[in-house]
Amino acid sequence: METVDTILATVAAAAPEIRGGLTGRRRKADEENPSGEIQMAADVWADEHLEAELTAIEGVGEFASEEREHVVDCGEGLSVAIDPLDGSSNLKSNNSMGTIVGIYDVPLPAKGTDLVASAFVLFGPITTMMVARDGSVTEYVIEDGEQRVVTEDVTLPDDPTVYGFGGRVPDWPEAFTAYARDVEDELKLRYGGAMIGDVNQVLTYGGVFAYPGLESRPEGKLRLQFEGNPMAYIIESAGGRSSDGEQSILDVTPEELHQRVPLHIGNAELIDRLESAL
């Protein structure tokens, strides 16, 4: 689909400018996002930059962002939902972060089953882009705003080695704590404070990432439209599974744009065990 190609190419082309613009934008902004989190200046800047680029594409009908309350109506066409700078809290410590994008063929908010493609750009030592569409996942390196294929048909390794769990351990529900203790005996901890980097570890080495529902926040922390659905779509396209504890993240029916969801994604066997434990 030509519009999907254009959206993905636009996100890739924006990556060097966004990455280069992080310098000098490590301070906090004076506003909160719709989820009540203090925004970084970089969050606001990346959001505004991507809005300008993506809403200008013919065939994009809606634009929504984790950093703004309402959907922007652009006309008719596909709906684009973004987390412009996932992991922006890592700016202070200069750790990984990036951009997440979900492309839906229905108005927002939408179920993950309505995705036609999703992707993330990871600002690590090099800038990479992972794209899921048509049932497969491709990894690219971004050089001068252009995508160069690195790996086609990305799949989760059969022998998983890493895990990363978010939230404070004392706030984990008892059933999840028991599951986590078993996983800790089998896998190596890889948790960097940015879901985008942690999920990339799972895609690379196999394993499980989770930000469960907490005792203090049963609904979880991560946003379904902007984080949960796109990442679940990538993991499932790579042969893994996703779950909110009971069903695939992609099957969760959204009630509002900024809805949160418990998120567990990774190798199918590890997610099967999680659902049995909860």
Angle 225-229-235 from CA coordinates, rounded to 5°? 160
Identify the DSSP state of 226.
I
Give the rounded distance of the alpha carbon of 48 from its chain centre: 19
Dist. CA 221–CA 129, nearest whole Å? 24
Dist. CA 70–CA 174, nearest whole Å? 36
> Is residue 174 within a helix (H) or strand (E), and if so which, with residue range?
helix 174-184
Those residues whose C-beta lies under 8 Å from the C-beta of residue 44, and which sit 6 or more positions away, are 29, 31, 67
Q: What is the full DSSP assignment across 2-45?
A: HHHHHHHHHHHHHHHHHHHTTTT--SEEEEE-TTSPEEEHHHHH
Binding-site entries for Mg(2+): 66, 83, 85-86, 227
Binding-site entries: 66, 83, 85-89, 191, 221, 227
Binding-site entries for substrate: 86-89, 191, 221
> Is residue 203 within a helix (H) or strand (E), and if so which, with residue range?
helix 195-205
